[in-house]
Amino acid sequence: MSNWIVLSILFFAVIIAGGLTFTFHKYFSGIKHYLTTVGVSFVLSLICIHILPEIFHEDIPNIGAYVLLGFVFQIFLELFSRGVEHGHVHHNHNHAHESMQRTLFSMFFGLCMHSFIEGIPLFLTTTSANLHEGHVHSVVAHGNEFSNIFFWAILGHKIPVSIVLMLFLIQSNLKKTTVIGLFLLFALMSPAGGLIGIELQNSNWVNHLSTILLAVTTGMLIHITTLLVFEEYHEQKDKLKNIALIILGLGLGLFVFA
Split at pLDDT 50, 70, 90, the class of 186 is very high
> Please, where are the H alpha helices in the chain?
3-23, 25-46, 52-57, 63-81, 100-119, 148-171, 176-200, 206-233, 239-257
Amino acid occupying residue 76: F
Q: 18 vs 95, which has greater pLDDT?
A: 18
Distance CA 144, CA 124 (A): 9
Least confident interval from 97-101, 164-168, 177-181: 97-101
Q: Is the pLDDT of residue 233 over 80?
A: no
Among residues 23, 1, 3, 52, the alpha carbon closest in space to that of 179 is found at: 23
Residue pair 151/7 in contact (Cβ under 8 Å)? The answer is no
Mean pLDDT of 143-158: 73
Domain locations along the chain: 3-257
